[in-house]
């Protein structure tokens, strides 16, 4: 498992822990700014309407569920408005009051259970007049709209006209004076549901991650048949106006080429593409994958279709080429863990934004920024989104890419680096002479002119390790470095299992789980820091990337603290956090954790499904994570668990008994047939998974029966998720850029790299939305080495939401979102 009972001793006394959540919290009477606490029943007497509009996307149901249950938590009535704006206009049975059980069992369903439709009537004032009347008669003056920019624009227009519409209804006797006064203001909050991720102002829209899952599943499946027959496949993906799906899909699947609307190819793209594919085939590559966004164009604005690309390859290169149009497969299927959590967080914050709304505040859209939800002015986002399309219409593609945001730009830049026309040779290196002759490039020689970058994995295997290694190798080679792969962690270094790595060697690695380099759980001090320094000198290592878990971070710290004694350790070293436990300080997310969450969520879905037809059963499932409760908490949100027991939140037998009574009450009163309890593997030494299962079985009888499941190493397996493939690729690219900069800065005239005691052993992490290099010696004070977890963990703020959505009423919820401007973005955005 990810944790290990034989722990390393802490190098220094650990400061007092300050884990930030407990079940008992003081509450404030009114919500408002970020960090304030919302008490149950605070908004009693108000009514909310929720609807989905436009194209459906996976995760909409999670958002609807969260709106309903958070609405109940604050004391409001909540109505479903079925079939979007059409249902609002038609009224009647299309506007129905929601109940707790009406949103049970919808979290794992794709699409939208309340329906979505496009409505011509609502585009005209008479249609909006009818819709206003229908809402007033139900007492609805607060709307949550889940849809694309067209749906959100329509909602803002409706809000602007609301007063005039009510005046007209009053004058014609359709509503009373009391109704006119009581519902005089309409409050609107939006959430963006779109698989295209084409809305400016949010890092991700609801459904995008799930659509990427469908794309990489399809590409991975097609790659096997293409490999068998040496075929090329041209795959069309959605994205009429935005190339995000195609671009990130290309990064995640190692596609040979991608066509997107924002980045048309050069005029000679046909020749360039053919030369690239010929070069790859000559290197032994048996398949080619090309992704085409449905809105792809050339630099004159003419469409580029999958059929066009197929015709080119078939006629010019005589390659057996097939076309696959994924179509609405991308919209289908169960939502990913990310989209379930995203929809749940956005839905809860949408209700709190309605509470804060007043006639003077503009309508807002709930967005995600890094690990935080934010409120952004709705129409600012809509105008920015329209501006992108206007730039593309004017052929100003550089500006269009800029307006898409730093994340889109970074994706594009990394893809361009990894998709060079011709991969650099691993056996020859251009000479410095003007005649462009080539000279041999033997390993570990001629150190003055040839810089060596090394990479190794340390810790338990996690999905995404191979994607990071692939990116590191190819980008390092592109920049002129020689790349050394250290197999089997420090053991391999000691045994001399250090080999040069080539461009073609890492072909296909991004989509594979585990660690092809080999990885072990070991620390530098256990192996011997002096021996490691000798090996660094032997192999003339100028810079090192370590991809791994807590052991990788701890080993880097031990090397940093030993630099004064061992000069060969005075080189730049960067750690990429990679562990399913997500327990490393200096980064909000670790590589591999997203894949593990999806594995756990999928298993929990199957566990619950296994009880179909079995009345009243509660499952207790144990997750990995060591002492870190990240997996249990986030998987609990994604799977709709009733509770998640973790080390960071102390609990006792009284808490367990309260949860039993809660489940009994919910099963009997809400007609819920199944319950799910998650327990982190080291949540409590005494209250084991077996103990909790037996307690629930005894105290819950005869209301429900109980079953236990230990998920085990299934959580470390599987294929990397789109996020982990993309995350590993981009993190390694950023790490190579930093290593190259440090080598240039600290190389002396003799060609030797010596950093001294400078802060050049760092951990590269994502903090909120920024990629940040933090010296490991600074992170020392932020670490509980005994339990192998950070002292402060951002995700603990999500604990109350998990319990609220499971109908626990005795918790307080901390306002998460803050109001931000759409232009607030830094250069280091992920």
Query: How far, in Å, CA of 351 to CA of 545, rounded?
Result: 44
Is pLDDT at 689 greater than 60 in this prediction?
yes
Is pLDDT at 249 greater than 70 in this prediction?
yes
Give CA 726 to chain center in angstroms.
Answer: 10
Q: Is 466 annotated as a binding residue?
A: no
What would the mean pLDDT of 248-270 be, rounded to a whole number?
A: 95
Q: Is 328 annotated as a binding residue?
A: yes
Could you tell me where the DSSP H helices lie in 629-716? 630-639, 653-669, 689-700
> 292 vs 119, 275, 305, 408, 697, CA distance in Å?
30, 19, 7, 17, 54
Q: Is 360 annotated as a binding residue?
A: no
Q: Which residues contact 771 (CB under 8 A, 6 or more apart)?
A: 730, 731, 734, 764, 765, 828, 829, 830
Q: 298 an active-site residue?
A: no
Q: Is 788 annotated as a binding residue?
A: yes
Q: Are 610 and 789 in contact (CB under 8 A)?
A: no
Q: Is 769 annotated as a binding residue?
A: no
> pLDDT digit string (tens) for 333-390?
999 999 999 999 999 999 999 999 998 889 999 999 888 899 999 999 999 999 999 9
What would the mean pLDDT of 416-420 be, rounded to a whole number?
A: 81
What would the mean pLDDT of 560-581 be, rounded to a whole number?
A: 96
Quick count: other Cβ atoms within 10 Å of Cβ 375? 23
> pLDDT digit string (tens) for 212-244?
999 999 999 999 888 888 899 999 999 999 999
The pLDDT score that the predictor gives to residue 707 is: 95
Is pLDDT at 825 greater than 60 in this prediction?
no
Buried residues in 404-438 as b, exposed as e (16+ CB within 10 A)? bbbbbbbbbebbebbbeeebbebeebeeeeeeeee
> pLDDT digit string (tens) for 288-335?
999 999 999 998 899 999 999 999 999 999 999 999 999 999 999 999
Q: What is the mean pLDDT of the chain?
A: 89
Is pLDDT at 394 greater than 70 in this prediction?
yes
Q: Is 12 annotated as a binding residue?
A: no
Pairing of strands 321-325, 364-369: unpaired
The pLDDT score that the predictor gives to residue 22 is: 43
Convert 387-415 into a string of H (helix), E (strand) and C (coil).
HHHHHHHCCCHHHHHHHHCHHHHHHHHHH
The pLDDT score that the predictor gives to residue 419 is: 79
- Which residue, 16, 12, 18, is CA-closest to 554? 12
Helix axes 630-639, 337-356, angle to 10 degrees: 80
Torsion of Cα atoms, 57 then 62 then 63 then 67, to 10°: 150
Question: How many separate helices (H) and strands (E) can be counted in the chain?
Answer: 25, 29
Q: How buried is 120 (Cβ within 10 angstroms: 0-12 exposed, 13-18 middle, 19+ buried)?
A: exposed
Q: Which residues contact 702 (CB under 8 A, 6 or more apart)?
A: none
Is pLDDT at 38 greater than 90 in this prediction?
no
Is pLDDT at 632 greater than 70 in this prediction?
yes
Q: Is 404 annotated as a binding residue?
A: no
The pLDDT score that the predictor gives to residue 2 is: 40
**CA 378, 380, 383, 384 torsion: positive or negative?**
negative
Query: How far, in Å, CA of 450 to CA of 429, rounded?
Result: 9
Q: Is 150 annotated as a binding residue?
A: yes
Convert 732-764 into a string of H (helix), E (strand) and C (coil).
HHHHHHHHHHHHHHHECCCCCECCCCCCCEEEE
The pLDDT score that the predictor gives to residue 824 is: 54
Give CA 567 to chain center in angstroms.
Answer: 40
Q: Is 240 annotated as a binding residue?
A: yes
Q: Is 194 annotated as a binding residue?
A: yes
Q: Are 547 and 579 in contact (CB under 8 A)?
A: no
| Angle of CA points 393, 395, 400, to nearest 5° | 80
Query: How far, in Å, CA of 145 to CA of 154, rounded?
Result: 10
The pLDDT score that the predictor gives to residue 666 is: 87
Is pLDDT at 26 greater than 50 in this prediction?
no
Q: Is 160 annotated as a binding residue?
A: no
Average the pLDDT over each of 5-19, 502-516, 733-747 and give the range with the smallest value. Answer: 5-19
> pLDDT digit string (tens) for 603-620?
999 998 887 777 789 999
Q: Is 625 annotated as a binding residue?
A: yes
**Among the options 90, 196, 209, 339, which is catalytic?**
196
Query: How far, in Å, CA of 69 to CA of 806, rounded?
Result: 8
Q: Is 322 annotated as a binding residue?
A: yes
Q: Is 409 annotated as a binding residue?
A: no
Average the pLDDT over each of 19-23, 271-275, 464-468 and give the range with the smallest value. Answer: 19-23
What would the mean pLDDT of 587-616 be, rounded to a whole number?
A: 91
Q: Are 529 and 573 in contact (CB under 8 A)?
A: no
């Amino acid at each position: 498992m990810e944790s290990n009972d034989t722990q390393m001793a802490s190098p220094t006394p650990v400061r007092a822990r300050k884990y930030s959540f407990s079940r008992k919290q003081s509450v404030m009477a009114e919500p408002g700014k970020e960090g304030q606490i919302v008490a149950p029943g605070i908004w009693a007497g108000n009514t909310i309407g929720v609807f989905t509009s436009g194209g459906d996307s996976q995760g909409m149901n999670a958002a609807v569920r969260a709106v309903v249950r958070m609405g109940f938590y604050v004391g409001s009535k909540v109505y479903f408005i079925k079939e979007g704006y059409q249902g609002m206009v038609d009224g009647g049975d299309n506007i129905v009051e929601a109940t707790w059980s009406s949103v049970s069992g919808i979290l794992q369903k794709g699409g939208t259970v309340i329906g979505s439709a496009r409505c011509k009537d609502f585009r005209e004032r008479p249609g909006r007049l009818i819709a206003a009347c229908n809402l007033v008669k139900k007492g609805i003056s607060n709307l949550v709209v889940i849809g694309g920019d067209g749906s959100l624009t329509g909602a803002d227009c409706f809000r602007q006209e609301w007063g005039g519409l009510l005046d007209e209804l009053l004058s014609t006797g359709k509503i009373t004076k009391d109704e006119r006064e009581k519902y005089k203001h309409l409050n609107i909050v939006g959430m963006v549901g779109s698989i295209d991720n084409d809305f400016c102002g949010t890092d991700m829209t609801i459904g995008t991650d799930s659509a990427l899952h469908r794309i990489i599943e399809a590409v991975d499946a097609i790659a096997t048949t293409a490999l068998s027959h040496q075929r090329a496949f041209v795959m069309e993906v959605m994205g009429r106006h935005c190339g995000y799906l195609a671009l990130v899909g290309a990064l995640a699947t190692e596609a040979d080429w991608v066509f997107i609307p924002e980045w048309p190819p050069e005029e000679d793209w046909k020749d360039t593409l053919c030369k690239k594919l010929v070069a790859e085939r000559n290197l032994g590559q048996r398949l080619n994958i090309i992704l085409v966004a449905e809105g792809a164009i050339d630099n004159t604005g003419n469409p580029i279709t999958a059929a066009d690309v197929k015709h080119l390859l078939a006629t010019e290169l005589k390659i057996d080429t097939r076309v696959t149009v994924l179509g609405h497969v991308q919209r289908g299927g169960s939502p990913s863990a990310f989209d379930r959590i995203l929809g749940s967080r956005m839905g809860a914050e949408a209700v709190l934004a309605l509470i804060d709304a007043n006639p003077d505040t503009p309508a807002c859209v709930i967005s995600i920024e890094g690990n935080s939800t934010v409120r952004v002015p709705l129409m600012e986002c809509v105008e920015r989104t329209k501006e992108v399309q206007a730039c593309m219409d004017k052929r100003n593609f550089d500006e269009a890419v800029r307006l898409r945001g730093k994340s889109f730009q970074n994706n594009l830049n990394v893809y361009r680096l990894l998709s060079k026309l011709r991969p650099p040779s691993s056996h020859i290196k251009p000479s410095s002479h003007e005649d462009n002759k080539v000279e041999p490039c033997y390993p570990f020689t001629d150190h003055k002119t040839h810089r060596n970058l090394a990479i190794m994995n340390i810790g338990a295997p996690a999905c995404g390790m191979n994607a990071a290694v692939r990116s590191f190798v190819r980008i390092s080679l592109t920049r002129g470095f020689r790349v050394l792969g250290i197999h089997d962690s420090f053991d391999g270094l000691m045994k001399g299992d250090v080999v040069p790595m080539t461009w073609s060697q890492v072909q296909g690695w991004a989509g594979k789980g585990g660690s092809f380099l080999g990885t072990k759980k070991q620390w530098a001090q256990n192996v011997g820091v002096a021996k490691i320094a000798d090996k660094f000198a032997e192999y003339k290592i100028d810079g090192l990337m370590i991809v791994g878990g807590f052991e990788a971070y701890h080993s880097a710290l031990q090397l940093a603290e030993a630099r004064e004694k061992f000069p060969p350790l005075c080189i730049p070293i960067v750690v990429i956090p990679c562990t399913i436990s997500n327990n490393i300080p200096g980064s909000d997310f670790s590589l591999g954790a997203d894949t593990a969450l999806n594995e756990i969520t999928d298993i929990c879905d199957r566990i619950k499904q296994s009880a179909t037809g079995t009345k009243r059963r509660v499952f207790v499932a144990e997750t990995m994570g060591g002492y870190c409760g990240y997996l249990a908490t986030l998987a609990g949100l994604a799977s709709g668990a009733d509770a998640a027991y973790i080390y960071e939140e102390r609990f006792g037998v009284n808490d367990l008994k309260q949860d039993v009574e809660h489940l009994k009450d919910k099963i009997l009163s809400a007609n819920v047939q199944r319950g799910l309890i998650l327990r982190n593997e080291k949540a409590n030494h005494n209250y084991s998974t077996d103990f909790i299962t037996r307690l629930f079985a005894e105290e819950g009888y005869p209301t429900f029966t109980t079953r236990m499941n230990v998920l085990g190493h299934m959580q470390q397996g599987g294929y990397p998720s789109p996020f982990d493939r993309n995350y590993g690729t981009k993190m390694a690219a950023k790490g190579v850029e930093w290593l190259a900069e440090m080598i240039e800065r600290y190389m002396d005239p003799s060609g030797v790299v010596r950093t001294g005691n400078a802060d050049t052993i760092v951990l590269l992490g994502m903090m909120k939305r920024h990629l940040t290099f933090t010296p490991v010696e600074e992170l020392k004070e932020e670490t509980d080495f005994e339990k192998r977890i950070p002292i402060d963990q951002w995700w603990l703020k999500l604990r109350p939401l998990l319990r609220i959505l499971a109908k626990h009423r005795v918790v307080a919820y901390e306002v998460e979102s803050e109001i931000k401007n759409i232009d607030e973005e830094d250069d280091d955005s992920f």
